[in-house]
């Protein structure tokens, strides 16, 4: 007897159909799985056998062969348990095989026949809709995740027996009904820029970074508030659009990191990996490549605290995703591309001890130690970071003062207006913010007057700026002008932008 049933797997952030073929023939009892299964798939035979028996059905004492097609693509994970079990029951004649053909089945089976959640449901649901599949049967916990895909019937399932009874017409599983409007949640954050005492200049720089999508690095002594500032950056970024939320959620779904209630990611991600992370952990990798921290920060913020403590080879692999907004991982048997469009926020001390330039504490670092410390950030990497700012220690009078600084809502209003201007400016291109502009767009949208030209010429000669740094200054000046809703870039915008190249100046001393 032969039965065929549809399932799915994921390559990168895209799902693809897998046809589970089950053949039962006379012979000595055996259970073999072919089609490049990994260890978890090969072990499924024990789970499937126990689940079928403990659900009250007969497991055939014959030779069982399961083929996962296409056979030349590696299959991994436990999501094939449910389709294997249904295929065996269909091959024995308990189920009508024809009724299984137009739906996808996913789920890990417990030994008692109940279903456990699996990874990668959202990419599978998106692909299933595009392929015209009738619907999906999947574990109850995964249903809200797949339910956000409109035009696809999603059946939440608790156990193998429940699916069998539904397919035999003995009971009905109602498809999940969910409206996109149900996804709108309170976007309020528990943290706010108003919690940060002082540091108004740093807040302004972060507002500029958020308005134009610029990468940023903060330099300051320990305890100055660099981490507090970075963690609050997401509170002033525009809310995720549905397409952004869908793409970001795909990455989290693949790794099984979706929120407990499922559905979509509703806040921009904030990722802060430890400095001991490997290049594979940051960029992604493995035998079967998985996304790394840069992809988990897609459409959000990647924060590298104490950035000189990261290994230099780890930092250097950031250059390509910072330019291309994606990561391509190549292996002998496959090439996988993950999205990685993030804002980089880095923080560092001015020197190894952290007190260079401090008025109250003396620095014990030698010039050579300071040079080696800063040299951990290569020139090409620094050139890809638009904004460099100093974050000094907060004076006591500001810590105890009653005057409150700018709040997240105050800063967010300016960011939204600036982003709206950029959206109108770039509506006919694939660029979304000023940070993404290239040479042609810089010449078109960042033209400056004679006063600004003289100011830039003086800065280039004095600070020894590279051509890339020159372009960064023009981009930042354009963003500052957008925050003021100014159609032209003036000398005051350029002057402020030059102030955001701190490391270019300090490296000269």
The angle that helices 408-425 and 467-483 make with each other, rounded to 10 degrees, is 110
Rounded to 5 degrees, what are φ and ψ at 335? -130, 125
Residues of the chain with pLDDT under 50: 182-186, 506-509
| Residue 270 burial (10 A CB sphere; 0-12, 13-18, 19+) | buried
Instruction: Tell which residue, 307, 337, 333, 304, has the closest CA to residue 321.
Output: 337
Alpha-carbon distance 133 to 55, whole Å? Answer: 28
21 membership: H or E segment, kind and range:
strand 14-25
Three-state DSSP class for residue 481: helix
- Bridge-based pairing state of the strands 301-304 and 343-348: parallel
Please state, rounded to an integer, the average pLDDT across all residues of the chain: 90
| Residue 205 burial (10 A CB sphere; 0-12, 13-18, 19+) | buried
Q: What domains can be seen in the chain, in order of their start residue?
A: 2-180 (3.30.230.10), 215-385 (3.40.50.300)
Spell 161-172 as b/e; 16+ CB within 10 A means b.
bbbbebbeeeee
16 membership: H or E segment, kind and range:
strand 14-25
- Read off the pLDDT of residues 106-160 as tens digits, 9 standing for 90 and up: 999 999 999 999 999 999 999 999 999 989 999 999 999 999 898 899 999 999 9
Alpha-carbon distance 368 to 360, whole Å? Answer: 23
Query: What is the pLDDT at residue 402?
Result: 59
Alpha-carbon distance 305 to 309, whole Å? Answer: 9
Query: What is the pLDDT at residue 179?
Result: 61
Alpha-carbon distance 455 to 493, whole Å? Answer: 11
Q: Are the beta carbons of 307 and 319 closer than 8 angstroms?
A: no
157 membership: H or E segment, kind and range:
strand 153-157
- Read off the pLDDT of residues 451-464 as tens digits, 9 standing for 90 and up: 999 999 988 888 77
Query: What is the pLDDT at residue 186?
Result: 44
Three-state DSSP class for residue 298: coil
Q: Are the beta carbons of 503 and 382 closer than 8 angstroms?
A: yes
Q: Are the beta carbons of 45 and 154 closer than 8 angstroms?
A: no
Query: What is the pLDDT at residue 399?
Result: 67
Quote the pTM value: 0.90
Alpha-carbon distance 389 to 406, whole Å? Answer: 18
Greatest CA separation for the chain: 89
Angle at 311 between CA 307 and CA 317, to 5 degrees: 90
Query: What is the pLDDT at residue 184?
Result: 46
């Amino acid at each position: 007897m032969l039965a065929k049933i549809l399932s799915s797997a994921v390559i990168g952030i895209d799902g693809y159909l897998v046809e589970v073929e089950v053949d039962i023939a006379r012979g000595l009892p055996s259970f073999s799985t072919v089609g490049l299964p990994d260890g978890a798939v090969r072990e499924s035979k024990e789970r499937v056998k126990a689940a079928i028996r403990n659900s009250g059905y007969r497991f055939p004492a014959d030779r069982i062969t399961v083929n996962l097609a296409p056979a030349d693509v590696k299959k991994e994970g436990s999501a094939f348990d449910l389709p294997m079990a249904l295929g065996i029951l269909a091959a024995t004649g308990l189920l009508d095989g024809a009724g299984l053909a137009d739906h996808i089945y996913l789920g890990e089976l417990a030994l008692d026949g109940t279903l456990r959640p699996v990874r990668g449901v959202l990419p599978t649901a998106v692909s299933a809709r595009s392929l015209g599949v009738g619907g999906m049967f999947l574990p109850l916990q995964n249903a809200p995740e797949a339910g956000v895909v409109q035009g696809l019937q999603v059946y939440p399932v608790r156990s193998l027996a429940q699916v069998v009874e539904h397919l035999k017409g003995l009971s009905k599983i109602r498809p999940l009904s969910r409206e996109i409007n149900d996804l709108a949640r309170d976007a309020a954050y528990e943290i706010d820029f108003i919690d940060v005492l002082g540091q108004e200049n740093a807040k302004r720089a972060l507002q500029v970074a958020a308005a134009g999508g610029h990468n940023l690095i903060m330099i300051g002594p320990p305890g100055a508030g660099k981490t507090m500032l970075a963690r609050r950056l997401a509170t002033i970024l525009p809310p995720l659009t549905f397409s952004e939320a869908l793409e970001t959620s795909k990455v989290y779904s693949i790794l099984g990191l979706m929120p407990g209630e499922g559905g979509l990611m509703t806040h921009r991600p904030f990722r802060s990996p430890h400095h001991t992370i490997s290049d594979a952990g940051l960029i992604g990798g493995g035998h079967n490549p998985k996304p790394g921290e840069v992809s988990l920060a897609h459409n959000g913020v990647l924060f590298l605290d104490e950035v000189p403590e990261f290994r230099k080879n780890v930092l250097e692999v950031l250059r390509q995703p910072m330019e291309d907004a994606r990561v391509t991982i190549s292996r002998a048997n496959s090439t996988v591309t993950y999205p990685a469009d993030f804002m980089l926020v880095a923080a560092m001390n001015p020197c190894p001890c952290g007190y260079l330039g401090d008025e109250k504490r003396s620095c014990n670092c030698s010039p050579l130690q300071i040079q080696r410390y800063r040299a951990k950030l290569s020139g090409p990497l620094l050139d890809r970071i638009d904004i460099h700012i100093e974050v000094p220690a907060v004076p006591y009078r500001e810590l105890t003062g009653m005057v409150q600084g700018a709040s997240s809502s105050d800063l967010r209003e300016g960011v939204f207006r600036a982003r709206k201007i950029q959206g109108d400016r770039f509506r006919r291109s694939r660029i979304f913010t000023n940070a993404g502009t290239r040479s042609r767009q810089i010449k078109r949208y960042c033209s400056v007057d004679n006063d600004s030209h003289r100011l830039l010429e003086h800065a280039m000669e004095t600070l020894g700026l590279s051509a890339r740094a020159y372009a960064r200054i023009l981009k930042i000046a354009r963003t500052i002008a957008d925050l003021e809703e100014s159609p032209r870039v003036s000398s005051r915008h350029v002057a402020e932008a030059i102030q955001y190249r701190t490391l270019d100046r300090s490296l000269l001393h």
